[in-house]
Amino acid sequence: MKWIKWIPYIIGLLWIILGTIHVLYAEKFQKMLHHIISESNPKIFAVIPLPIGILLCVAAFGSQAKWFIFILGLLVCLKALLLLFLPTKQTHKILEWWFTKASDQSIRLWGLILVVLGITLISWI
């Protein structure tokens, strides 16, 4: 089960990459995601965070920072479940706010948070 130790590394690296893209290309990234999500059912996007959250919960038991990684995994699973079970109209309202009314500073702040979480995840394994 040594492969479990690689899960937080991979997820942390993905978060660092996504966060960096948020910071450097906030407006372009926001428009691209808005285009992708506005033309599809937002419940489909619960498929992405749910396995990541489950993998983080499983990988937590093979790391030194068990509780931190486990709580991160639970939060990611909660996000996926909210996307999955909220009414589609409410989900569209939330996503519409994020893509049309959120400022560049908000997007960049979220990017910085992702980078910090990714670095923390990798360093605490």
**Which tokens is 86 given?**
């909220």
Residue pair 123/34 in contact (Cβ under 8 Å)? The answer is: no
Is residue 84 within 8 A of residue 36, CB to CB? The reply is no
Query: How confident is the model at residue 57, as a pLDDT?
Result: 93
Q: Are 86 and 56 in contact (CB under 8 A)?
A: no
The yes-or-no verdict on residue 5 having pLDDT over 90 is no
- Is the predicted pLDDT of residue 46 greater than 90, yes or no? no
pLDDT at 109: 95
Report the predicted TM-score, pTM, of the whole model to 2 decimal places: 0.86
Compute the distance between CA of residue 73 and CA of residue 69 in angstroms, rounded to an integer: 6
pLDDT at 13: 96
Domain count, the chain: 1
- Which amino acid does the sequence have at 82? L
Q: Reduced to 3 states, what is the DSSP secondary structure of residue 16? A: helix
Domain span holding position 8: 2-123
